Amino acid sequence: MPPALNIVPFVSVDHMMRLVLAVGIERFLTELAGFIEEDFRRWSAFDKTPRIASHSPDGVIELMPTSDGTTYGFKYVNGHPKNVRAGRQTVAAFGVLADVGNGYPMLLTEMTILTALRTAATSALAGKYLAPPGARTMALIGNGAQAEFQALAFRALVGVDRLRLYDIDPAATEKCVRNLAGLGFDLRRCASVAAAVEGAEIVTTVTADRQNATILTDNLVGAGLHINGVGGDCPGKTELHPDVLLRCAIFVEYAPQSRIEGEIQQLPPDHPVTELWEVITGRAPGRRDAGQTTLFDSVGFAVEDFSALRYVREKLRTHPFYADLDLLADPDEPRDLFGMLLRAGAGPGRD
């Protein structure tokens, strides 16, 4: 039987949750990080188009395409900080994987949950290469939607099992403690950023401030720390004081994008940074010694979404959590689109 050319597998939010739970969250994060690592190793194969942003007073809508020459992927994602007030996600996303050879989509999936997972997987992948060896304690500054994913990814990939939590809103910390309780972490609620950072080998900042904020000041950052800066991810939105940056060896995903969107937007455009793929492939060193302070200045790059789409497609082979979507017109004769339309009216009763 010929394949149904018009059908595209669709992973709904419900299907994604069931897929993640069926695989297991930590295993999902670990395998996803493996796909990201694999794609970072073949960095030069990717089309690195800048994301296409449509800005408005309330937020931004972005399209993030990339391709490895065989497969094409893109993500639709918004960023609207005020959404929370109306019970909406600040960031919602969906994505598509397509065949470069014929241009047909081969997967459509929710990506709000998947983006949270790929962001955490990328952070932990960077942590694996950059954090002090044997690190077990992580400060988690900002206990919102991304926090628990970061925690589980750092445990799965780096071995972190002690968390020092702080959020400007204690309710967020409580939510985080509630969700992580019973998952085997040593959890500490901290009263300030300074208290959270104390004794931590890794500091993850994942706050949602829009304006340039200073979550971490220079005096809080001890030598040898690894900072995982996740919350600063668009122009005008940063979390670290410039003095902190000047003391760190800085690692980014894709420098041209990070210089606009990342913490390093605060630095001169020629400030030296290393792209993570260079560390992964051994082209550039990662952490040099125990005294070096490292920063992964994460903004999220299209290749990570590509890896995530690729991973989900792979998992669907054994976990069929998808529906068939009648997305593409498929006339018997490709030139007869109009005839297909006409015959739809003459066909048997449909409802």
The owner of tokens 């050319």 is 5
Taking contact as CB under 8 A, which single stretch among the options 216-224, 241-249, 303-311, 324-332 is the one that binds a second copy?
A: 324-332
Does residue number 157 form part of the binding site for a second copy (CB under 8 A)? no
Is residue 184 a contact point for a second copy (CB under 8 A)? Answer: no
Q: Could you tell me which of 271, 274, 265 has the C-alpha nearest to residue 296?
A: 274
Site for a second copy in 85-104 (CB under 8 A): 86-90, 92, 94, 96, 98, 100-104
283-287 CB contacts, 8 Å cutoff, 24+ apart: 286/129, 286/130, 286/251, 287/129, 287/130, 287/131, 287/132, 287/226, 287/249
Q: Pick the binder of a second copy from 76, 218, 281, 316 (CB under 8 A).
A: 76
Alpha-carbon separation of residue 182 from 140, 147, 225 (angstroms): 18, 16, 28
Write out the binding residues for a second copy, residues 300-319 only, by CB under 8 A. none
Counting contacts by CB under 8 A, is residue 168 touching a second copy? no
**Which one of 30, 78, 257, 292 is in contact with a second copy (CB under 8 A)?**
78
Set 233, 243, 289, 297: catalytic member: 233
Cβ–Cβ < 8 Å for 137, 162? yes
CB of 339 to a second copy, least distance (A): 5
Between 8 and 252, whose beta carbon lies closer to a second copy? 8
Reference 287, options 202, 220, 175, 171; nearest CA is 202
CB atoms within 10 A of CB 59: 18
d(CA 316, CA 22) in angstroms, rounded, equals: 11
Residue 256 lies near a second copy (rule: CB under 8 A): no
Phi-psi region of 224 (alpha: psi -120 to 50; beta: other; left: phi over 0): left
CA dist., res. 65 & res. 117, Å (int): 19
Among 32, 35, 132, 148, binds a second copy (CB under 8 A): 148
Tell me the per-residue interface mask from 188 to 207 with a second copy, x by CB under 8 A, - otherwise.
--------------------
Residues 9-48 that bind a second copy (CB under 8 A): 10, 12-14, 17-18, 20-21, 25, 47
Buried b / exposed e along 146-178 (16+ C-beta atoms within 10 A): bbbbbbbbbbbbbebbbbbbbbbeeebbebbbe
Regarding 4 and contact with a second copy (CB under 8 A), the answer is: no
Using CB under 8 A, count the residues that bind a second copy: 83
Nearer to a second copy, 284 or 329 (CB): 329
Eight-state DSSP code of residue 184 = T
Which range, of 233-241, 244-252, 256-264, 327-335, touches a second copy by CB under 8 A?
327-335
Which of 126, 139, 163, 172 is in the footprint of a second copy by CB under 8 A?
Answer: 172
| Residue 233 appears among annotated catalytic residues | yes
**Residues 41-70 interacting with a second copy (rule: CB under 8 A):** 47, 49, 52, 54, 56, 58-61, 63, 65, 67, 69
Residues in the chain: 351
How crowded is the C-beta side of 350, counted as CA atoms within 13 Å?
5
Active-site residue set: 233
